[in-house]
Homo-oligomer: A and B are copies of this chain.
Amino acid sequence: MTKTGIRGVAEIAGVAVGTVSNYLNHPDRVSADKAQRIQAAIDQIGFVPSNAGRQLRLGVSSVIGYISPNVSNPYFAEIAESVERRATERGVSVFLANSHRSREREDDYLATFEQHQVLGLLVSSDGPIEDRLASVRRRGTPSVLVGQRAVSSEQPSVSIDDVSGGRQAGRHLLEIGCRRLAVVGGPMSLPQIADRFAGLSEVVREAGDATLEFIDETDRSVRGGRDVGTALMARPPELRPDGIFAVNDLLALGILQVMVLGGVRVPEDLAIIGYDDTAFAEGSVIPLTSVRGRHDGYGVAVVDLLFDVIERREIDEPHRIFSPDLIVRASTEGFGRG
């Protein structure tokens, strides 16, 4: 049938394969005359350079992979977006993959990306994953752990100072007058979650005049939040917390909805704080106070760190930690009034 590949193009255009390759990769080295004939041949047979051939020869691709638990969580979607922006600026494509919090799929994608010889890997995960990333790294694929501080100094990471986030949330709740605090989230085996709790707990202990309840909810989605809200509404009002710190915005929004519909006034009777400051925190009917960890520089930091590792540059500090800010909005501002 029709000729294929760079070879077919060369034949039709009446040039050598090397010339076609040059046309594709170093157009400046090819005379206008041949360039034109080559392009015509390309169009004629619908030639598409095979990445496989190229990669086989070169040994690398120009793609980085980002494995996240779940892009339907706006927190990860927003990270993905900023990562993608920066990657494009630096001339590489990003392939996203969802692990759906399944260790098995995480491993699948890890393997798939490794076999595709991606330049490097960005990984957000709920679970412990450093050991696996270490294996992958040993075999030649570098990675940056995103959203979770790595333990090993061999494993670069970009994360948020969650202890500080927890402290800020706690201080704010105490300052506006809450005394029966609750933190909602889980599992505690996640360092991110444990740290937020630790920060909050520390502040409460220092204050001395407030209580802190831990409400375990590992489904950190709107649905999970609604379940928590429902459970709280079932309690007599005096046993309900008056200040809630949810470990992410989704949880907070779910709780907020159920409790407001149940007649609780927010923020007058109940102050509530989320985490991550996603678009939905700001966009809620009662705008949600939230701890903002990322900012515009996040994607840049993540991608640039990965490039540093890929290019074997000397890295001064493998663990980049961003300090979060508390964004105060209507869900807490005005507590106690009315």
Cβ of A31 under 8 Å from chain B: no
Interface-located stretch among A156-164, A189-197, A239-247, A255-263? A255-263
The reply to whether A51 and B279 form a contact with Cβ atoms under 8 Å apart is no
| Nearest-neighbor residue (CB-CB) of A139 within chain B | B46
Cβ of A52 under 8 Å from chain B: yes
A280 CB contacts on chain B under 8 angstroms: 222, 253, 280
The reply to whether A72 and B63 form a contact with Cβ atoms under 8 Å apart is no
Bound-state Cα–Cα, A284 to B108, Å: 35
Number of chain A residues whose Cβ lies closer than 8 Å to a Cβ of chain B? 62
A222 CB contacts on chain B under 8 angstroms: 279-280, 282-283
Cβ of A100 under 8 Å from chain B: yes
A108 CB contacts on chain B under 8 angstroms: 88, 93
Bound-state Cα–Cα, A94 to B96, Å: 8
Bound-state Cα–Cα, A53 to B95, Å: 20
A223 CB contacts on chain B under 8 angstroms: 279, 283
Bound-state Cα–Cα, A81 to B73, Å: 11
CB distance from A80 to the nearest CB of B (A): 6
CB distance from A330 to the nearest CB of B (A): 8
Cβ of A292 under 8 Å from chain B: no
The reply to whether A53 and B51 form a contact with Cβ atoms under 8 Å apart is no
